[in-house]
Structure 1
Amino acid sequence: MDGDLSEGGMQTVALNENAVNSESQPLAGGGASLQNAMSNSGISSPSSPSQPIPVSQNRPTSLPQYPHNPGSSYTSPANANSPAMSPIPLATPTTPGSENGAAVVRSGAGKMESIKTWSISTYKCTKQLISEKLGKSSRTIDTELEGQIESLRDTQRKYSQILRLARALSSHFYHVVQTQQQLGDAFADLAQKSPELQEEFIYNAETQRTLTKNGETLLGALNFFVSSVNTLCNKTMEDTLLTIKLFESARIEYDAYRSDLEMLSQQPRSEVSSIKLEEAQRNFSMYKAHYDRLRADVAIKLKFLDENKVKVMHKQLLLFHNAVSAYFSGNQTALEATLKQFNIKLRSPNTAPPSWLEQSVPETFQTIFGTLNSPTK
């Protein structure tokens, strides 16, 4: 063997089953052969030869298979009778985020179903509109309600015209008031520089200042009139018209599904046609209820709008008449009384709002601050 190793060769030892089995069996032959083998190999013998030598066992070539039913609890055979071991149920493993993934899938399915329903409804409504324009389909008409709706639209157009003209009048009159104020300042300045015409300039300066003051009062009444008419025309009426638009859309949907139901009811009876007919009946009932609800809402809003319009315009037209008449007749007392009657507070365009300190201090300190801020003569 030493010769083989020195020459660079390698000796192969073949192990068969008998050799393996012989190694795994206990050494039976007394202690003599064991002592000789140990002495030859240079291993000292144990102090007590009577102790047993551990026996090597065969290595299993495959894992043991234990029968079990799917979904039942699995128990290790080695510890089957151990009370400390609890059975572990075999369940489908869940990965992190699987619930979120399922929620995303459901949300996507809901969106696809919503898009599908919207597409079908849009197609039916477009088909119904084209059929109505071509005269191939009938439409539901409420004569009384349609007349009220048309009257409201005509009223809004006329009120929009009044609003446009009132704004123009207010804008032009504002420039008139500004011009009168500048003219009064110019007259007052010339009164100081022209002694020979001082009395005439002072007369005209006082007149223009009075006209400016009354003009600002009338301008406040005009602005209040414009604001009220704008609210009535562009908010109250527009809200009712928005409900009318929803009602007209519901009417088109109702007529579309009504036409669909009438067409399916005329087809020959079969299992498929019966299912489609039941679905069309359900859709028709749903859209009919929606149409009836919006028709009732439109009728109520038209009624309240008419009452509100009469109250608002009665007040605003009275204000407009009294203010304009008092201004152009030169009745300053009647003009101020008109603004007090309608609770209109005027604010001079050149007056700055009071500071927070002036609003918070007592009246005595306000008097002091007013005295300090007054120009010295």
Structure 2
Amino acid sequence: MEVAEQRGGGAEDQTPPAEENGNSSHTESDVTSCPAEATPEDFMEPGQSKEPVMPQKVESGPVVVQGNNRTLASEKLERVRKWSITTFKCTRQALSEKLGRGSRTVDLELEPRLELLKDDRQRYDHMTKLAQTMANQLAQFTVTQKTLGDVFTEFSVKTPSLHVEFGVNAEVLKFLSKSGENLTAAINTFTSDMNTLVNKTIEDTMTNVKQYEAARIEYDAYRVDLEELNLGPRDTSTLPKLEQAQKEFQSQREKYQKIRDDLSIKVKLLEENKVKVLHNQLWQLHGAVAAHCLSCHRFLEQNNQEASEQLRNPSADASSWLEES
């Protein structure tokens, strides 16, 4: 893995607070309770003396908390403490990177692929929206064609003198409308598969990219802390902190490398799957457009030939009323 570090204009002006470590002492105060109040209870049986029963005094003292409860509380407090420290370090690291004063780890192999993936996702999303707009407009156009074809058919019946002309146009519009519906269905299939690719497959990988970015910032935060401790003086008080920082840094490094390796494999598989999906969908769309154009061209040629034969038929020509007069 090729890793490079980019550093800003200079080191941070302030040294971050030293990280708390396990050697710091934590005192726990004993939990005490108020003296318990005893309530007299009379249990009278037949033949028993009715003299009031004096309640026995209960000795008061500290209430002992069970070990399990104390352990659970300590574990919760420890998790909250670690979470607070990690959050502070990550926030400080992110701000220093934005201000250009901090250093960050750059993966020269993976990050260019991630940038390309983000750019491709935006472009594919734009292309899918355009295809969906085209499908919607084509669907409206086919409805208008069919409606106009029905009107031409009606006029063909009601106007005998223009029966051929109205009939030819009616047949053409109805055929174009039917072929347009098939093309619209093909475009909708294309947009559906593209939506799956963009909004599910690629988006799932982008979620892993966000996790990778968070792990990278956390890794850099612990790395910067370790570097600052290494630059400082070493004595009996700082050596335990340095050892603890080294352990935490190694743990974060292993976590970062694991997420990085998993993401690299997932991006590679996504690139291969993306090529296969686009190859199939683009050829299917091309075939649908070609079939639409060819079928319309053939029908128009046949329709024009039939219309010409009908117009050349003498029975189709009606004599003018001027000629009759």
For normalisation by structure 1, the TM-score amounts to 0.57
Deviations 1:330-352 (A, max 9, x none): 3599xxxxxxxxxxxxxxxxxxx
Deviations 1:178-225 (A, max 9, x none): 111211222223334333333333322222221121111111110111
Deviations 1:126-166 (A, max 9, x none): 11122223343321111121111111112112212211211
Q: Distance in 2 between matches of 1:196 and 1:324?
A: 37
User: What is the one-letter code of the residue matched to 1:235?
Assistant: K
- 2:168 matches 1:210: no
Instruction: Report what 1:291 is aligned to.
Output: 256
Deviations 1:309-331 (A, max 9, x none): 11111111111212112212335
Instruction: Report what 1:201 is aligned to.
Output: 166
Following TM superposition, by how much is the alpha carbon of 1:173 offset from its aligned partner in structure 2, in angstroms? Answer: 0.6
1:131 and 1:137 in contact (8 A); partners too: yes
Instruction: Report what 1:258 is aligned to.
Output: 223
Q: Distance in 2 between matches of 1:173 and 1:126?
A: 51
2:128 and 2:191 in contact (8 A); partners too: yes
Q: Distance in 2 between matches of 1:322 and 1:291?
A: 46
The 1:296–1:125 alpha-carbon spacing in structure 2 relative to 1, beyond 3 Å, is same
2:142 and 2:181 in contact (8 A); partners too: yes
Q: Distance in 1 between matches of 2:230 and 2:208?
A: 33
Give 3-state SS (helix, strand or coil) of 1:140's partner. strand
Matches within 5 A, 1:24-63: none
- 2:102 matches 1:137: yes
Q: Distance in 2 between matches of 1:311 and 1:239?
A: 18
Which structure has more relative contact order (CA 8 Å, sep 6+)? It is 2
Instruction: Report what 1:311 is aligned to.
Output: 276
Q: Distance in 1 between matches of 2:125 and 2:165?
A: 45
The 1:291–1:181 alpha-carbon spacing in structure 2 relative to 1, beyond 3 Å, is same
Following TM superposition, by how much is the alpha carbon of 1:249 offset from its aligned partner in structure 2, in angstroms? Answer: 0.9
- 2:145 matches 1:173: no
User: What is the one-letter code of the residue matched to 2:288?
Assistant: A
Instruction: Report what 1:234 is aligned to.
Output: 199
1:247 and 1:294 in contact (8 A); partners too: yes
In structure 2, list runs of 5 or more residues that go unmatched: 1-62, 299-325
Q: Distance in 2 between matches of 1:253 and 1:156?
A: 27
Query: Cα RMSD (Å) of the superposition?
Result: 2.6
| Number of equivalenced pairs | 236
- Say which is worse superposed, 191-200 or 238-247, in terms of deviation: 191-200
Q: Distance in 1 between matches of 2:296 and 2:129?
A: 28
Instruction: Report what 1:269 is aligned to.
Output: 234
Q: Distance in 2 between matches of 1:156 and 1:267?
A: 46
Matches within 5 A, 1:95-114: 109-114=74-79
Q: Distance in 1 between matches of 2:159 and 2:72?
A: 87
In structure 1, list runs of 5 or more residues that go unmatched: 1-93, 334-377
From 88, 109, 114, give the equivalent of 1:123: 88
Instruction: Report what 1:300 is aligned to.
Output: 265
Identical aligned residues as a percent:
44
Instruction: Report what 2:153 is aligned to.
Output: 188
- Say which is worse superposed, 131-140 or 144-153, in terms of deviation: 131-140
- Say which is worse superposed, 158-167 or 288-297, in terms of deviation: 158-167
Q: Distance in 2 between matches of 1:135 and 1:233?
A: 33
1:214 and 1:332 in contact (8 A); partners too: no
Deviations 1:84-139 (A, max 9, x none): xxxxxxxxxx99xx98x965x76555444333322211110111122223343321
For normalisation by structure 2, the TM-score amounts to 0.66
Instruction: Report what 1:154 is aligned to.
Output: 119
Q: Distance in 1 between matches of 2:75 and 2:167?
A: 81
Matches within 5 A, 1:357-372: none
User: What is the one-letter code of the residue matched to 1:292?
Assistant: Q
User: What is the one-letter code of the residue matched to 2:136?
Assistant: S
Larger Rg: 1
Q: Distance in 2 between matches of 1:320 and 1:224?
A: 9
Give 3-state SS (helix, strand or coil) of 2:106's partner. coil
- Say which is worse superposed, 278-287 or 308-317, in terms of deviation: 278-287
Q: Distance in 2 between matches of 1:128 and 1:152?
A: 25
User: What is the one-letter code of the residue matched to 1:253?
Assistant: E
